[in-house]
Structure 1
Amino acid sequence: MSSDSNVKSKETFGRTLVFVFIICLVCAALVSISAVGLKPLQQANKLLDKQTKILEASGLLEKAGSDIVGTYAKFVEAKMIDLKTGKIIEGDTDIFEERADARDASKSTKPENDIAGLSRRADRAVIYLVKNEEQQLDTIVLPIVGSGLWDLMYGFIGLAPDLNTVRSVVYSELKETPGLGAEVLNPKWKALWPGKKMYNEQGEAAIHLVKGGAKPGDVNGVDALSGATLTSNGVTRTLQFWLGDEGYGPFVTRFKEGGLN
């Protein structure tokens, strides 16, 4: 009886292992199928979110209403640039991934003055030329990325065609503390930006957040985030980096000298 019991116990254990193995295979297959099937939807949602932020940075979001895709297609033109030279280059702007390029040593550069805390900066970037109803250039939207308190923060700055006067600053992805660093998403704080200047009279990237509040007439100063000194410093350094020589500086110079030619 004892021998038969042991055999049956081993058979039961073996069947259990086979059953568990089959279940694991089925679950893995279902996860894989779901991932593949949902990928186009995820990509579409990601693109829609980016288009929404670009329209917000250019002041067109309210006008767009629910027609984000149509408004974007009508008024926005994406261009890829080489950050080192500032020249417009060929490239698929829809599938370009700044993060992927930044991780690839062959497609990125280690900044000499990495005040934005990037470690590596992609050699290419996509900029967005936004036109008005008369199809004249109204806003240029530039993507930005830099360190906050906890992680990298991604966003966009909308500039007038002088590439100095701010239309808006919009953050899209961040992991900052709610009520403190995450106040970069607060409409009241974002409302402080329009009309500010990114550069001073000497042509230096001088935009900065001021602890205690910017003084009246300070065109380069914006109120810092209350209780979020490190995040505020991160915003300042990010903007100064991207408007400097290792960011969009060469493009800004080339654009001012001859537009997009």
Structure 2
Amino acid sequence: MNKNSNAYTFIFAIAMVVVVAVTLSFTATTLSPLQKENVRKEKMQNILSTIGIDVDRDSAEELFNKHITQQLALNHEGEEKEGVVAFDVNLAKELSKPEDEQTYPLYIANYEGSEFYIAPLRGNGLWDAIWGYIALKDDANTVKGVVFDHKGETAGLGAEITTDWFQQRFTDEKIFNNDGDLVGVNVVKGYSGGNDKDDNKVDSISGATITSDGVSEMIEKRLKNYLPYFKKRQEIKVVTR
């Protein structure tokens, strides 16, 4: 065949497209299990980090199995669902359902002699979804730690929710007010409360009001779904309404 002909060029182009498509498909198929495993271990790392365990990916599963003593999949009445694995619950999909049909994962951890309740979070930032985890101490009121992430917030502004300096502001904050109402932790612009851990407020990120509001709403809205479960636990002393 004449290599200078249109037919040769056309056939060569088709052959190259097929080769590239097959190569990409093979690569994606080969890497998919590894990618899923990395996501699974990163999830374990994030859950553990809320209670102060910073661990590399290789050690995440071992420490997760050691310190996470229970994984509960709850319904809207605070009762455990049978046959549902909490770790496998896709919160993004659950949010598309009515609240009384959703599954609410809850992790109970034991670390350094203390018990913690860890709940996954998901909400909306300025541009797209934000998510994370929040750990509560054994009074189900005091925050042990948080971790946040996002899909498309602005670098230097809303994306700062992933930084240590912002997340550390939530440590020891309360999610119930003095009247026993669950109000979460409000991220407030121009907050002047200093180190007051009983006012349910932290300072916001400068120039990221919508993302900060999204964090506030996410915490309050998601945690309220766990009230029925907390009210059933007799050992929890916090007054809830």
Q: Is 1:31 matched with 2:8?
A: no
TM-score for the superposition, normalised by structure 1:
0.78
Distance in 1 of aligned mates of 2:135 and 2:69: 14
1:85 corresponds to = 77
Task: Report the CA distance between 1:86 and its aligned residue.
Answer: 1.6
User: Residues 56, 203 of structure 1: CA spacing in aligned structure 2 closer, same or farther, 3 A cutoff?
Assistant: same
User: Any gaps of 5 or more consecutive residues in structure 1?
Assistant: 1-7, 112-120
Does the CA contact (< 8 Å) of 1:99 and 1:122 recur in 2? no
The 1-side partners of 2:135 and 2:218 are apart by 15
Match of 1:178 in 2: 155
C-alpha separation in 2, matches of 1:154 and 1:256? 30
Structure 2 Cα separation of the partners of residues 99 and 46 of structure 1? 15
Could you tell me how far 1:94 is from its partner in structure 2? 4.2
1:196 to 1:172, Cα distance in 2 relative to 1, 3 A: same
Taking structure 1 as reference, are residues 57 and 42 closer, same or farther at Cα in structure 2, changes over 3 Å only?
same
Q: Distance in 1 between matches of 2:201 and 2:26?
A: 51
Whether 2:232 is the aligned partner of 1:254: answer yes
Q: For the structure 1 residues 92 and 148, does the alpha-carbon distance in structure 2 shift closer, same or farther, using more than 3 Å as the test? A: same
Superposed CA RMSD: 2.9
- 1:160: which partner in 2? 137
Aligned to 2:11: 18
For 2:234 and 2:192, the matched residues in 1 are separated by 28
State the secondary structure of the residue aligned to 1:146: strand
2:214 corresponds to 1:234: yes
C-alpha distance in 2 between matches for 1:158 and 1:199: 14
1:127 aligns with 2:106: yes
Verify: 1:187 aligned to 2:164, yes or no.
yes
Residue 69 of structure 1 is matched in structure 2 by 61
**Identity in percent:** 27
Partner of 2:125: 148
- In the TM superposition, residue 133 of structure 1 has moved relative to its aligned partner by 4.7
Deviations 1:226-256 (A, max 9, x none): 2221111111111111122xx3232332335
* Aligned residue-pair number: 233
**Structure 2 gaps, min length 5:** none
Larger Rg: 1
Structure 1 CA distance for aligned equivalents of residues 19 and 9 of structure 2? 15
Cα 1:92–1:233 shift into 2, 3 Å: same
Distance across 1 between alignment mates of 2:222 and 2:192: 22
Mean Cα deviation higher: 247-256 or 231-240: 247-256
Match of 2:53 in 1: 60
**In the alignment, residue 168 of structure 1 is paired with which amino acid?**
G
Q: For the residues of structure 1 that align with 2:16 and 2:234, how far apart are their CA atoms?
A: 63
